[in-house]
A and B are shown apart, each in its own frame.
Chain A
Amino acid sequence: MNLGASFMINLMTLTAEIGGVALALQLVSSVSYLLWVPFAALAVWLVIWRVKFSVMENVAGLVGLCLIGFAVALFLLNPDWSELGRQAVPGASTGTEKVSTYWFYAVALFGAAMTPYEVFFFSSGAVEEGWTVKDLARSRANVLVGFPLGGLLSLAIAGCAAVVLLPQFISVTALSQVMLPVAMAGGKVLLALIIVGIVAATAGAALETTLSAGYTIAQFLGWPWGKFRPPAQAARFHLLMIICLIVGIGTLMTGVDPIQVTEISVVFSAVALPLTYLPILIVANDPEYMGEHVNGQALNGTALIYLVIILAAALAAIPLLIITGAGR
Chain B
Amino acid sequence: MTAGSEDQAARWLDAQLHLLDRQVLDVHGVPMAVVDDLELSDVPVGQQIPIDTPPPVITALLSGPVLATRIFGGRPPDSRMQRTPWAAVAEVGVVIKLAVDQDTRDAAWTERWVRDNVIGRIPGGRHVPEQEQDDHPQNEERGRS
Partner of B111, one of A53, A132, A219, A224: A224
The binding surface of chain B is classed by DSSP as mixed
Contact B94 A222 (CB under 8 A): no
Within the complex, the shortest CB–CB distance from A126 to chain B, in Å, comes to: 11
Contact A130 B115 (CB under 8 A): no
Size category, A interface:
20 to 34
Contact A228 B129 (CB under 8 A): yes
B19 within 8 A of A: no
A221 within 8 A of B: yes
Contact B130 A229 (CB under 8 A): no
Contact A224 B114 (CB under 8 A): no
Within the complex, the shortest CB–CB distance from A22 to chain B, in Å, comes to: 24
Contact B133 A238 (CB under 8 A): no
Contact B138 A230 (CB under 8 A): no
Contact B132 A50 (CB under 8 A): no
Looking across the interface, which residue of chain B has its beta carbon closest to that of A220? B34
Interface pick from B7-15, B37-45, B119-127: B119-127
Q: How far is the CA of A151 from the CA of B128 in the complex (A)?
A: 38
A110 within 8 A of B: no
Of A222, A226, A227, A231, chain B has the most CB atoms within 10 Å of the CB of A222
Known: A222-B34, A223-B111. A239 touches B138 (CB 8 A): no
Looking across the interface, which residue of chain A has its beta carbon closest to that of B131? A52
Contact B119 A130 (CB under 8 A): no
Contact B23 A228 (CB under 8 A): no
Known: A222-B33, A235-B111. A230 touches B23 (CB 8 A): no
Cβ-closest 10 pairs across A and B: A222-B34, A235-B115, A235-B114, A235-B119, A222-B33, A232-B120, A232-B126, A130-B137, A231-B125, A224-B31
